[in-house]
């Protein structure tokens, strides 16, 4: 397992890198990869199929110069920034048959995360299809993009996000998992009682035990720059629907 701990200051590059590592693994140019990152600046990211005006408070984002970006995977709108550690797994089905099936892959990956948390004394359970909860509060949301030979699974690990900031930029969703009920963001989203360093170690141990942080190869770095410029930073991608 290749381990990457790489964060960019530009939101578009952070999203581009997840797609680049998926393509590298999909085409056999790189081994299975775990990436960890945390944005130093806040931004809103929406799922690939979402309509931005339905899931983002567009007026508040524009007034506050809050960037809005669209990722390559499905799933819901998320507030990124300090206090939200992200992990991304690019896995080939041939080497990881557990992730060849969509629902089976969520069960496999989230159970490994829950086991990792248990080592820190935290009881986390899978709730709905793609969430992890602690004490019935959501602490991790996850999404995937699936290709012919590999999938990208990425998720959030919330350890310090402020609810008032989330509420300002993300309206209460119409599409919500059953276990959420009618709870608002502040009633539904929790935080993990761990430092980002401790979270990193838990994820490393769960998916890449013994690995040391690696770097992108030059071709991948160029691809990140290109995708950020030509796709993720462009309004015609973000506001396409």
What is the 3-class SS of the chain, one letter each residue?
CEEEECCCCCHHHHHHHHHHHHHHHHCCCCCCEEEEECCCCCEEEECCCCCHHHHCCHHHHHHCCCCEEECCCCCCCEEECCCEEEEEEEEECCCCHHHCCHHHHHHHHHHHHHHHHHCCCCCEEEECCCEEEECCEEEEEEEEEECCCEEEEEEEEECCCCHHHHHHHCCCCCCCCHHHCCCCHHHHECCCCCCHHHHHHHHHHHHCCCCCECCCCHHHHHHHHHHHHHHHCCHHHHCCC
Per-residue pLDDT at 162 exceeds 90: no
Q: What is the pLDDT of residues 175-187, one digit of tens each?
A: 889 999 999 999 9
Mean pLDDT of 7-23: 99
Residue 96 pLDDT = 97
Rounded to two decimals, the pTM is 0.95
What domains are defined for the chain?
2-238 (3.30.930.10)
Residue 164 pLDDT = 84
Per-residue pLDDT at 124 exceeds 90: yes
């Amino acid at each position: 397992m290749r381990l990457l701990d790489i964060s960019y200051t530009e939101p578009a590059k952070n999203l581009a890198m997840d797609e680049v590592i998926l393509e590298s693994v999909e085409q056999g140019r790189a081994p299975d990869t775990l990436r960890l990152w945390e944005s130093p600046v806040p931004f809103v990211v929406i799922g690939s199929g979402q309509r931005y005006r339905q899931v983002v408070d567009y007026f508040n984002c524009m007034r506050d110069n809050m960037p809005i970006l669209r990722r390559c995977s499905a799933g819901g709108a998320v507030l990124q920034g300090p206090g939200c550690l992200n992990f991304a797994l690019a896995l080939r089905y041939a080497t990881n048959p557990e992730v060849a099936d969509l629902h089976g892959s969520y069960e496999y990956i989230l159970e490994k995360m829950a086991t990792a948390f248990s080592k820190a004394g935290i009881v986390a359970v899978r709730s709905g299809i793609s969430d992890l909860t602690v004490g019935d509060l959501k602490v991790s949301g996850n999404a995937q993009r699936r290709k012919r030979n590999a999938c990208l699974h990425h998720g959030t690990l919330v350890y310090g996000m402020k609810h008032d900031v989330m509420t300002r930029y993300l309206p209460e969703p119409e599409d919500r998992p059953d276990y959420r009920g009618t709870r608002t963001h502040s009633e539904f989203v929790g935080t993990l009682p761990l430092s980002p360093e401790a979270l990193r170690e838990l994820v490393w141990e769960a998916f890449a035990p013994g690995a040391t942080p690696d770097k992108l190869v030059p071709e991948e770095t160029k691809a990140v720059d290109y995708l950020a410029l030509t796709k993720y930073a462009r309004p015609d991608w973000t506001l396409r629907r």
